[in-house]
Structure 1
Amino acid sequence: MIALAAIERLLAEDAPSGDLTTTALGIGDAPARMAFRARDAMVPAGLDIAVRLVQAAGGTARLHGRDGTPAKPGDLLLTASGTAAALHRAWKSAQTLVEIASGIASATAAVAQAAAAVDPKVRVACTRKTVPGARFLSQLAVRAGGGILHRHGLSETILVFAEHRAFLPDLDLAGLAARLRAAEPEKSIAVEVHDVDAAIAAAAAGFDTVQLEKFAPEAVAAVAAAYAGLARAPLIAAAGGISPDNAAAYVAAGAGLLVTSWPYTARPRDVAVTLGPA
């Protein structure tokens, strides 16, 4: 749940000292109504926050769509009523938020559907590479699109990159795993690798997850074949360049998790807004 203070910041960002146009025209007290409709097919996201933006501005709002439930062109997403001042204040912030979040949700759903066509058990995990300050909204959209979160942040999970290993040049993968197990015995440990031999070594070292960075599907298949005879094989996470165009190929190659930032670059989905006298 997003805090009220965050909602108020979103409103203040667009109207720090009120709505000059509405005030100058003298229409602020006029009864008004507003409706959001999907202009194109989309997986909506951010609708609950849009409702709270209207409420914080002084209006009332009602949901007609739901985050994560696909909408067809023309489907009604929400309606609102209140004074013209209240609805004009909330209008653009709410519309833009829903459009951007729905773009991320729709893109996440496209990757998830491509993966599920091969194996419904394989999940799509979106990274923490969001616009700084907008992570909560981006992650909300990922969830609405059927994805999961790869990492909420650095404080939650252990994932060793080459940039970490550069500070410990004398420690091999087995040594790294042992150090991490000793330091954080209750945590799952993961490592990112860049070639098949390193992926095999990471499995032997006892890592729980091995993230294959920018591997071709054929290289993922080679890792999966190497893991096939292991009593306790790590989770294979394919990362780097995952999109709806190649998700199925990575799952078919043996990836058990798809890690992607692609949905964050998705084009916003258009929301048609009508706002006028009640």
Structure 2
Amino acid sequence: MYIADSYLEELISEDVPSVDLTTHVLGIGGHHGCIEYFTRDAGVLCGTEEAERIYHMLGAERVEIQPSGTQLAPGDVFMRVWGRAEVLHMGWKCCLNIFEYYSALATKTRAMVDAVHAENPRCEVLTTRKRMSGTKPLDTKATLVGGSFPHRLGLSETVLVFAQHVAFYEGGIDALIADIPELKARCCEKKFFVEADASDAVRFVEAGVDGIQLDKVPADKLAQLVRTLKGINPQVTVIAAGGVNMENARAYAASGVDGIATTCLHFAKPLDMSARMVADA
């Protein structure tokens, strides 16, 4: 996955706007040593490749990492960096924040994906674009590392009609349904998806949409609706969305949907990770 140098440079400058004042005052910046990162929690590692790049930007002499996706046990060391003390201290917390936050997302995602695939191997976990501003590059990487797939990375990527679009469509939902063949022809290289509740989903599938996103339909009422929609068009893609979380994801997967779209994987309690430094003898 590509993450621009400019994004990583912004992370550095957030924590080091100019000088590491403590290291400068103590006069230790030129001393050499090593920093190693380790975890107190089990989890799925994420962000070491970006942390390695950050340390090289700062002037590290050597870096060793475990790759993102590594399953960590408590006590495992997953990154070591050698260089001047000023370099180690400038990268210390910037990289630790990446590890703690995004390894937590990868770990949570892996847990949901494993639960969903245990119930329905053909159901995919899809992460929405409702994430905190500024976190998109590493957030996307973390959820990919955990085994999910981006539902939408932005408005330019897919055609997905919401009720908020229908509110401006001349003639409303009835006109939209009548116009679906023409609208599909206008975006012939893209699939045409619509979000709908249970009452409108059948009409949209009968009209020929490529996919239907079912909004806030309870998991226990979804299986029959999925059978009905697939009976109309066996090739239609059915996505469950709205209120999907760690507790009910497996039940949604059991309904026979092709995917579940969730926002909950963008938020997780950070893993307990830390770093220790040792000066060269």
TM-score by length of structure 2 reads 0.94
Instruction: Give unpaired runs (5+ residues) of structure 1.
Output: none
Partner residue, 1:192: 195
Asked if 1:96 corresponds to 2:97, the answer is yes
Tell me the CA shift for residue 61 of structure 1.
4.6
Which runs of 4 or more aligned residues in structure 1 lie more than 4 Å from their structure 2 counterparts after TM superposition?
none
Instruction: Give the counterpart letter for 2:171 in structure 1.
Output: D
| In structure 2, distance between residues paired with 1:228 and 1:134 | 37
Aligned-residue identity in percent: 35
| In structure 1, distance between residues paired with 2:179 and 2:98 | 42
TM-score by length of structure 1 reads 0.95
Distance 1:275 1:221, change over 3 A: same
Partner residue, 2:25: 24
Partner residue, 1:240: 242
Determine if contact 1:174/1:204 at 8 Å carries over to the other structure.
no
Asked if 1:163 corresponds to 2:199, the answer is no
Partner residue, 1:66: 67
SS in 1 for 2:43: coil
| In structure 1, distance between residues paired with 2:199 and 2:160 | 19
Partner residue, 2:133: 132
Partner residue, 1:215: 217
Tell me the CA shift for residue 222 of structure 1.
2.4
Instruction: Give the counterpart letter for 2:220 in structure 1.
Output: E
Asked if 1:111 corresponds to 2:117, the answer is no
> Where do residues 70-81 of structure 1 align in structure 2 (5 Å cutoff)?
70-81=71-82
Instruction: Give unpaired runs (5+ residues) of structure 2.
Output: none
Determine if contact 1:227/1:233 at 8 Å carries over to the other structure.
no
Determine if contact 2:120/2:256 at 8 Å carries over to the other structure.
no
Between 49-58 and 165-174, the greater mean CA deviation after superposition = 165-174
Tell me the CA shift for residue 5 of structure 1.
2.2
| In structure 2, distance between residues paired with 1:140 and 1:10 | 16
Instruction: Give the counterpart letter for 1:165 in structure 2.
Output: V
Distance 1:176 1:105, change over 3 A: farther
Partner residue, 2:56: 55
Aligned partner of 1:269 among 250, 268, 271: 271
Determine if contact 2:205/2:233 at 8 Å carries over to the other structure.
no
Partner residue, 2:261: 259
